[in-house]
């Protein structure tokens, strides 16, 4: 029998067929497909139970985690393998044990809670969300997609959603642009932006959280990705909104409302709230680059007390250090810092010092020597130290994403605290590097064991620095609350620090910007925020500075700050009448401290933002989506700053309901604009009807003297209204063990009576005994006052028709009748 012999060519062809198309070629690169965006295909399988569900197109995989009834997390793995689950923003993701329904038919997979449905469309893997009424609130315009990054590995990741004609967007941190982000295209990449301009982007912080409002329904998207991220709110295509990142995972949380307030509260469930600050931190702070030598520091302190202008803190910028070396003192400028700080404390001033991340390369400098020996500084990919020039000269930089480094850094504050330093200001931590802007992309970071380059760690570097500062100070101070402030950060930074809007400019434009930025930060989960009052660079005149003081009096964080090459910038620097007006507004802030502190408690305990733009109160009114001047502090005090020079009056929009003019006690009906006079001495301030506003006596600093009674300003309402009043020691963490007092006031009135009920919880008892009641706006002449069944005969009615009387703080029911 003759053998069937194949020639080599035939053998090769047979081999190729067996290998299902695999080809041996002289050029191995021939046939490699070009890198393009890849999209999710048709979902072929869905499986899951409880809180976790998976869907796949045979290659890529999507994970859906049901966090609670309002929040669902979506993750994409382009080839079915997810990255390790770790987040600096969400440190402890614990899905609630709730009823979840998983449904499949020929059109979709659906995962539902009592409030939200997630739909995965089988035709194209589009993901959408709807409410319990099956109203679609968010829907993909394209399937999630990705593109391979050949230079660094991993993928660029993308999500594109439908953008409706009247849909508007809010949040995203400190962006210096209109409050409504519709039509904007923005970037998240922490950047030192000295004297930034309107619409300049990016700035100092990266907060990848935004709120959408469409047809009166709100939802939020939190894109938890630390790489450089991009957001397009209908800018390129009015029908689409997109978010994408240069690396990491496509991982986002859908947060259902239906109200904007609900969205913000749920965001805080994920990322945390700000701990209660020391009460003094809500006072007025004075800063300059720089107050030195010691004689200047003392002169500023003396100036406040001689001018009788309240102030709680004075700051020391980089010139207090020896050659700008962190944790050192320039003994030429400050020969005895411990005594200086103690003397300032005797006058009621807290001292706050700046600390930057750059550590001078100097083997005679103990901090550098120790960090070098313990290998705590960042390194490049080829194991060279990351070095860059900042204020001290050639520096190396701690890797704050390493838990051991954070603990070391925190321990370095022991001497500063021993000297009496009460607060620490973290600056230059974007991180900023002279000449290059920031670290090179190949710098390596520990990332708490999850490893990464600076592309991944850049946006969290500043947050982890201030985390190290806060945690270290808390450990050293034991049960005393630290005060920290940071320039840079990422979502979740509110757990560790307050912020300011950075190096602004002394201009009316920046006054307007600061007003918007603080509102935006507050609704983006960062409540303890403020601006450099008066502008950091440039020269304000007396009018601009005073208008800024007026706005700053209603910023959660109130600090004046200026560059060293500018003129003096204290509240008395511009002479009269400005000094008196500035004093009056700073005094007003100190009078309102119990209200402001209570608003902070409502944030800490319940997740409410402190500053609330009008759109958060009336999101169903489309015009309000474009209002950005007015805001409320808490929910009771509406403020509208004066933002133009020489302005004698301005229009103010009041939300629906009744509002009392703070200055005149006149009642206005909300739901429309009113014209309000704006002489230099005032700005429009209104109090919501039914409010109970607690008030302290004016002090030069927090704790100057014991409080003997609290004034309660009660504003009449013909409907039921609630107010809260929080008190505690003001400086310890005892509130975490319920050592606090939370009082709830309920006001309700009609044409012939007013009732005020008080209830209390908590274990703290304040030392004062009584309230001084001021009841404003009664529509009748009061004849009888009864408190807990006892008639009060000793009362007066002033010329302003304000009813005044006193009683003990422990009352339950107060009734005023005609």
In 115-200, the DSSP E strands lie at 116-121, 127-131, 136-148, 155-162, 168-171, 185-188
Task: Compute the distance between CA of residue 531 and CA of residue 700 in angstroms, rounded to an integer.
Answer: 22
Asked if 818 contacts 780 with a C-beta cutoff of 8 angstroms, the reply is yes
Query: Which one of the listed residues 69, 399, 427, 742 is annotated catalytic?
Result: 427
Instruction: Annotate 779-795 with b (16+ C-beta within 10 A) or e (fewer).
Output: eeebeebebeeeeeeeb
Task: Compute the distance between CA of residue 635 and CA of residue 658 in angstroms, rounded to an integer.
Answer: 13
Q: Give backbone dihedrals phi and psi of 469, rounded to 5 degrees, phi first.
A: -65, -50
Asked if 553 contacts 586 with a C-beta cutoff of 8 angstroms, the reply is yes
Query: Beta partners for 160?
Result: 142, 242
Q: Give backbone dihedrals phi and psi of 11, rounded to 5 degrees, phi first.
A: -60, -45
Query: Which one of the listed residues 70, 262, 294, 430 is annotated catalytic?
Result: 430
Rg over alpha carbons for the chain, rounded to the nearest Å, is 30
Task: Compute the distance between CA of residue 118 and CA of residue 124 in angstroms, rounded to an integer.
Answer: 15
Helix 508-523 to helix 542-552 angle (10° resolution) is 10
> What distance lies between CA 163 and its chain's CA centroid?
26
- C-alpha distance from residue 200 to each of 50, 60, 175, 204, 235 (Å): 45, 37, 8, 11, 16
Query: Which one of the listed residues 503, 587, 695, 728 is annotated catalytic?
Result: 503
- C-alpha distance from residue 717 to each of 1, 89, 666 (Å): 112, 41, 13
Taking CB atoms within 8 Å and a gap of at least 24, the contacts of 444-451 are 444/378, 444/379, 444/380, 444/381, 445/378, 445/399, 445/401, 445/402, 446/399, 446/401, 446/402, 446/403, 446/405, 447/86, 447/401, 448/86, 448/88, 448/401, 448/402, 448/403, 450/84, 450/86
Instruction: Annotate 29-38 with b (16+ C-beta within 10 A) or e (fewer).
Output: eeeeeeeeeb
Q: Give backbone dihedrals phi and psi of 14, rounded to 5 degrees, phi first.
A: -65, -40
- Other residues' Cβ atoms within 10 Å of the Cβ of residue 21: 7
635 included as an active-site residue: no
Task: Compute the distance between CA of residue 7 and CA of residue 11 in angstroms, rounded to an integer.
Answer: 6
What DSSP designation does 762 have?
A: S
Asked if 109 contacts 43 with a C-beta cutoff of 8 angstroms, the reply is yes
Q: Residue 539, CB half-sphere, CA atoms under 13 Å: how many?
A: 7
Phi-psi category of 442—alpha, beta or left, where left has phi over 0 and alpha has psi -120 to 50?
Answer: alpha
427 included as an active-site residue: yes
CA torsion 100→106→107→113, rounded to 10°?
A: -10
User: For the chain, how many residues are written?
Assistant: 818
Q: What DSSP line would sit under 443-509, residue for residue?
A: -EE-GGGT-EEHHHHHHHHHHHHHHHHHHHHHHHHTTBPPEEEES-EETTGGGT-EEE--S-BSSHH
CA torsion 760→764→766→767, rounded to 10°?
A: 140
* Alpha-carbon dihedral sign for residues 598, 604, 605, 608: positive
319 included as an active-site residue: no
Determine the 3-state secondary structure of 561 from DSSP. Answer: coil
Tell me which residues are annotated as active site: 427, 430, 503
């Amino acid at each position: 029998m003759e053998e069937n012999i194949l020639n080599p060519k035939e053998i090769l062809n047979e081999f190729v067929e067996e290998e299902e198309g695999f080809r041996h070629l002289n050029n191995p690169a021939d046939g490699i497909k070009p890198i393009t965006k890849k999209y999710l295909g048709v979902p072929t399988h869905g499986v899951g139970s409880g809180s976790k569900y998976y869907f796949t197109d045979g290659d890529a995989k999507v994970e859906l985690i049901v966090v609670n009834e309002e929040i669902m997390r979506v993750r994409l793995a382009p080839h079915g393998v997810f990255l390790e689950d770790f987040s600096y923003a969400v440190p402890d993701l614990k899905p609630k044990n709730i009823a979840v329904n998983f449904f499949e038919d020929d059109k979709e997979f659906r995962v539902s809670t009592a409030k939200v449905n997630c739909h995965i469309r089988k035709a194209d893997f589009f993901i959408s969300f709807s409410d319990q009424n099956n109203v679609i609130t968010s829907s993909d315009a394209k399937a999630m997609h990705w593109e391979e990054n050949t230079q660094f590995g991993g993928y660029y990741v993308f999500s594109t959603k439908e953008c409706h004609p009247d849909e508007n967007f809010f949040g995203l941190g400190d962006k210096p642009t209109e409050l409504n982000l519709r039509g904007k295209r923005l970037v998240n990449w922490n950047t030192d932006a000295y004297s930034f301009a309107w619409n300049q982007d990016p700035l100092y912080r990266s907060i990848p959280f935004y709120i959408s409002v469409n047809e009166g329904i709100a939802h939020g998207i939190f894109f938890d990705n630390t790489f450089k991220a991009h957001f397009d709110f209908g800018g390129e295509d009015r029908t689409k909104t997109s978010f994408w990142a240069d690396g990491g995972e496509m991982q986002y949380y859908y947060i259902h409302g239906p109200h904007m307030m609900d969205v913000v509260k749920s965001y805080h469930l994920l990322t945390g709230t700000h701990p209660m600050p020391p009460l003094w931190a809500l006072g007025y702070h004075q800063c300059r680059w720089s107050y030195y030598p010691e004689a200047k520091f003392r002169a500023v302190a003396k100036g406040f007390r001689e001018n009788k202008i309240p102030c709680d803190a004075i700051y020391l910028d980089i010139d207090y250090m020896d050659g700008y070396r962190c944790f050192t003192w320039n003994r030429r400028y400050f020969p005895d810092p411990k005594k200086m700080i103690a003397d300032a404390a005797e006058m009621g001033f807290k001292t706050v010092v700046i600390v930057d991340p750059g550590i001078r390369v100097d083997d005679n400098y103990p901090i550098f020597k120790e960090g070098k020996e313990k290998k705590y500084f960042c390194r490049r990919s080829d194991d060279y130290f990351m070095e860059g020039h900042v204020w001290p000269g050639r520096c190396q930089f701690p890797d704050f994403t390493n838990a051991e480094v954070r603990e070391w850094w925190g321990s370095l504050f022991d001497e500063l605290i021993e000297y009496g330093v009460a607060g620490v200001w973290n600056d230059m931590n974007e991180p900023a590097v002279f000449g290059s802007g920031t670290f090179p992309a190949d710098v390596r970071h520990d990332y708490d064991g999850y490893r990464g380059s600076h592309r991944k760690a850049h946006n969290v570097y500043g947050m982890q620095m201030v985390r190290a500062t806060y945690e270290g100070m808390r450990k050293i101070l034991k049960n005393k609350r630290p005060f920290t402030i940071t320039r840079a950060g990422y979502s979740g930074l509110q757990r560790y620090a307050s912020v300011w809007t950075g190096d602004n400019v002394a201009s009316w434009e920046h006054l307007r910007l600061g007003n918007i930025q603080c509102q935006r930060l507050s609704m983006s989960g960062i409540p303890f925020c403020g601006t450099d009052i008066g502008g950091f660079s440039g020269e304000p005149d007396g009018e601009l500075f005073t208008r800024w003081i007026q706005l700053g009096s209603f910023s959660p964080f109130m600090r004046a700050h200026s560059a060293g090459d500018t003129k003096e910038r204290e509240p008395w620097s511009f002479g009269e009448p400005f000094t008196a007006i500035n004093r009056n507004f700073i005094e007003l802030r100190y009078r309102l401290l119990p209200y402001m502190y209570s608003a902070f408690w409502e944030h800490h305990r319940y997740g409410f933002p402190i500053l609330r733009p009008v759109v958060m109160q009336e999101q169903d009114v489309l015009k309000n989506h474009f209002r950005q001047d007015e805001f409320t502090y808490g929910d009771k005090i509406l403020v509208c700053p004066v933002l133009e020079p020489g302005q004698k009056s301005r229009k103010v929009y009041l939300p629906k309901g009744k509002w009392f003019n703070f200055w005149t006690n006149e009642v206005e009906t909300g739901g429309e604009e009113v014209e309000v006079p704006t002489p230099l001495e005032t700005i429009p301030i209104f109090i919501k009807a039914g409010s109970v506003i607690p008030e302290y006596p004016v002090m030069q600093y927090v704790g100057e003297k014991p409080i003997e009674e609290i004034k309660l300003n009660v504003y009449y309402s013909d409907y039921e209204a609630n107010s809260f009043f929080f008190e505690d020691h003001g400086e310890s963490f005892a509130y975490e063990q319920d050592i606090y007092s939370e009082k709830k006031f309920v006001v309700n009135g009609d044409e012939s009576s007013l009732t005020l009920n008080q209830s209390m919880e908590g274990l703290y008892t304040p030392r004062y005994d009584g309230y001084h009641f001021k009841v404003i706006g009664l529509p009748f002449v009061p004849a009888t006052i009864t408190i807990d069944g006892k008639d009060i005969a000793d009362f007066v009615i002033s010329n302003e028709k304000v009813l005044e009387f006193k009683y003990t703080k422990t009352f339950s029911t107060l009734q005023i009748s005609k």
